[in-house]
Structure 1
Amino acid sequence: MSEDYEKQILAWFEDFHLNPEVSWKEFRTTQAIADILDNLGVTYRLFPDVTGLIAEIGEGDDVIAVRAEIDALWQEVDGVWQGNHSCGHDAIISMALGALLYVKDKRLTKKLRFIFQPAEEKGNGSIAMIERGAIDKVSHLFGIHLRPVEELPMGRVSASIHHGAAIFLEGKVHGEDAHGARPHQGKNALDVVVGLHQFIKSIYQSPFEAYSAKLTKVIAGGESLNIIPGSAEFAIDVRAQKNEVLEKLKDRIDHGINSLKDLYGVDIEWKWSDFTPGAEVSTEAEEIAEEAIRNIAGSEALAPPVITSGSDDFHFYTIKNPKLKATMIGVGAELQPGLHHPKMTFNRSALDLGARILAETLLRA
């Protein structure tokens, strides 16, 4: 039976892998999952205004949930811009559906809810699912994700992934153009951007905290090399392992930009977007996952918690409902060169292992 399930999980993966769809446009992916659920006789809810769906099995008032993200990235692969599942969401869908296969004929005393969520890569798909009742009455929430080789080797599984927090800033400097021979007649936007770069590199938090802030985009000037640009666009990527450290960084950057406006006599407009909170891992949920890993793969397979500077909107579920007990399982799968790399590959035999561990976790919860 397990062998048949593994073949099915791999077949599902292959279909999702060959048909990637970017955030909020996962129309075929949503329909493909719905078709699979129809074949399994599982009830689900679709939504008229967003992609994704929520399925449920079992009985009772208590609800245990698992979340699987379904979107792909838009990136350049061999010179062609296209949808690409380089973050492994095709694997996550397949493991979640595989877990459903393993538990659907068990005697369940609680409801098991499967949240197939759109737009994780946009950082706000979880909010859309929360608004549509995804975690109503849910006591425990689990996620699962393949991890790069430098975090977990093949066959090792972690009961928790401690993602960092992230937020992004986009801004524009409004100065005045000037002739290259008469810089005193203008207000050079590049001076402001360089000042901003120096400022964010001089922000210091406790050395015991993990954090970073860096410019990720600068657009200024045109074809005429003798014109000093008065306007420039810029972007900043800000990350921290803890949510409170990220908030301090954000406040310091706001204060610094206001100071640069006065220093250079220019106007600067900016906005923050795509905040993704850091992990709030439940000890109880983590212990449930640990026991599941030991039972399915043996004690030698259990790895320590994964600490990563990457972010995931999974953690909005706990931010919006602090009583929710949640953790995300990390699966070693020989994944390389890394997540979001256009040529990302992994050992597909990890899919069935992940599905069985996730199923055991849900049953133990």
Structure 2
Amino acid sequence: MNVVYEKQILDWFLDFHRNPEVSWKEFRTTQTIAGILEELGVTYRTFPDVTGVIAEIGEGDEVIAARAEMDALWQEVDGVWQGNHSCGHDAIISMVLGALLYTKDRTLTKKLRFIFQPAEEKGNGSLAMIERGAIDKVSHLFGVHLRPVEELPLGKVSPSIHHGAAIFLEGKIIGSDAHGARPHQGNNALDVIVGLHQFIKSIYLSPFESYSAKLTKVIAGGESLNIIPGTAEFGIDVRAQKNEVLGSLKDKIEHGLNSLKTLYGVDIEWKWSDFTPGAEVSKEAETIAQDAIVAITGREVLASPVITSGSDDFHFYTIKNPDLKASMIGVGADLLPGLHHPKMTFNTSVLDLGARILAEAMVKA
């Protein structure tokens, strides 16, 4: 542990935490990271069309990379809608910058690349970085993420996080309004919503698989309670631990929507968005991360791989480059009440720990 580095990492975290920026609008965050890299004398590049930074140290043809996501969520906090780092991306930026601190003066036989990526919460920021060469010549890629208390207790560290796959549907029911006294003259969109809710709860796949589908948005009706609404908007959150199971779930939902159109005599329009693939964890990268955890903290800190229904666009890097050996390190941080909760808090003492483990994993690779 380096006390100066530990304080610096915490100071960076506090600055990012106080200045959250939502997906694709991480302008100050990008500028701040670039300024830090300039002060450290590290080569980096930014992009004219998207936020994000890619920095490099070391020499050689082979590249070992670490990735940090930069965006905050847009959510209501104490009655006010605002950017909020309730997923801990402010911590992740700080840990990856910390890993750079811990490696920049070491003798390196390969290049180390640090990817500061926008729009993870949109599920496609990684694709923008891939298009801009983020994983060109990269053999190993490491991520890091704080885990809630139900997954990892404070002080425990996992060598891998096995995220599930996720995709979202936004749809619109187009029927016809009617007077509340003459329901037979219209097509009640709320009847369709109720039917849709019942349908998605009756989708059955193998009980050996982990999956879920649920309505997360319904907008229908207006101020007049005597008008039966003919139109409604809705959203569905769809998740599965495996990519192929998510595909089956998606097909069943589309079949059900087409059936509901016929049953209720309405039109239903929909589109899928923000697909995030499930984890494809490299056993080799996982082993390297495990060895790094043990080297920095001892075997008593090592935890088993984390399996979670949450998703992360980190896994697009391996989907787009199957030869890439990747693993995301999970850090127990006494994180409460949970990820994406507007009042999420964690123990900041883990920031330096995560930085040192990530640095060790990059050097070992």
Shorter-chain TM band:
over 0.9
Partner of 1:159: 159
**1-structure distance, mates of 2:272, 2:6:** 43
Does residue 16 (structure 1) correspond to residue 19 (structure 2)? The answer is: no
Distance 2:153 2:188 in 1: 50
Task: Spell out, residue by residue over 1:221-250, the C-alpha distance to the aligned partner (whole angstroms, 9 max, x if none).
Answer: 112212111111111110001110000000
2:223 matched to 1:242? no
**Which residue identity is paired with 2:286?**
E
Q: CA deviation at 1:152?
A: 0.6
Letter paired with 1:90: D
SS of 2:279's partner is coil
What is residue 138 of structure 1 aligned with on the other side? Answer: 138
Instruction: Give the match for residue 314 of structure 1.
Output: 314
Match of 2:63 in 1: 63
Per-residue Cα deviation, 1:107-156 (whole angstroms, up to 9, x for no partner) = 11111000000111111110100010000111111000011111111110
Match of 1:245, SS state, is helix
**Partner-residue secondary structure (3-state), 1:348:** coil
**Which deviates more, 214-223 or 137-146?**
214-223
The aligned runs of 1:39-54 (5 Å cut-off) are 39-54=39-54
C-alpha distance in 2 between matches for 1:33 and 1:181: 62
User: Partner residue of 1:280?
Assistant: 280
- 1:293 aligned counterpart, secondary structure: helix
Mapping of residues 255-294 of structure 1, within 5 Å:
255-294=255-294
Cα distance between partner residues in 2 of 1:232 and 1:18: 38
Residue 179 (structure 1) aligns with: 179
Task: Name the residue aligned to 1:218.
Answer: 218
Q: Which residue of structure 1 lines up, in the alignment, with residue 197 of structure 2?
A: 197
Deviations 1:318-354 (A, max 9, x none): 1111111101000011111111111111111100110
**Residue 340 (str. 1) matches residue 343 (str. 2):** no
Q: Quote how far apart the aligned CAs of 1:83 are.
A: 1.2
Tell me how far apart the structure 1 counterparts of residues 259 and 86 of structure 2 sit (CA, whole Å). 40
Give unpaired runs (5+ residues) of structure 1: none
- After TM superposition, give the deviation of residue 270 of structure 1 in Å: 0.5
SS at match of 1:303: coil
Q: How far apart are residue 180 of structure 1 and its match?
A: 1.7
CA distance in 2, matches of 1:193, 1:76: 26
Write the letter of the residue equivalent to 1:236. I
Tell me, what secondary structure is at the counterpart of 1:269? strand
Structure 1 residue 359: deviation in Å?
A: 0.4
Q: Partners of 2:207 and 2:331 in 1: how far apart?
A: 30
Opposite residue 279 of structure 1, the aligned amino acid is A
Instruction: Say if 2:13 is the partner of 1:7.
Output: no
* CA displacement at 1:3 relative to structure 2: 1.0
SS in 2 for 1:260: helix
The whole-number CA distance in structure 2 between the counterparts of 1:335 and 1:197 is 32
1:165 Cα deviation after fit: 0.6
Separation of aligned partners in 1, 2:197 and 2:189: 12
Q: Percent identity?
A: 84
Distance apart, 1:80 and its partner CA = 1.6
Distance 2:295 2:62 in 1: 24
2:75 corresponds to? 75
Q: CA offset at residue 84 of structure 1? A: 1.1
Distance 1:76 1:230 in 2: 30
Partners in 2 of 1:183 and 1:76 — Cα distance?
Answer: 37
Aligned equivalents of 2:49, 2:23: Cα separation in 1: 14
3-state DSSP of counterpart to 2:273: strand
Per the TM alignment, residue 164 of structure 1 is displaced from its structure 2 partner at its CA by: 0.7
TM-score normalized by structure 2?
Answer: 0.99
| Superposed displacement of residue 220, structure 1 | 1.1
SS in 2 for 1:151: coil
2:352 aligned residue? 352
CA distance in 2, matches of 1:197, 1:165: 21
- Whole-angstrom distance in 1 between the partners of 2:230 and 2:121: 34
CA-based RMSD of the aligned residues comes to 0.8
The Cα offsets for residues 135-189 of structure 1, whole Å up to 9 and x where unpaired, read as 0111111000011111111110000001111101011111111112222111111
Q: Deviations over 1:244-287 (max 9, x none)?
A: 00000000001110111111111110000011111110000000
Give the Cα separation in 2 of the matches to 1:189 and 1:82. 32
Opposite residue 205 of structure 1, the aligned amino acid is L
- Structure 2: runs of 5+ lacking an equivalent: none
SS of the counterpart of 1:92?
helix
Indicate the residue corresponding to 2:103 in structure 1. Answer: 103
> Could you say what secondary structure the match of 2:316 adopts?
helix
User: Which consecutive aligned stretches of 4+ in structure 1 deviate over 6 angstroms post-superposition?
Assistant: none
1:73 Cα offset (Å): 1.1
What is the TM-score with the length of structure 1 in the denominator?
0.99
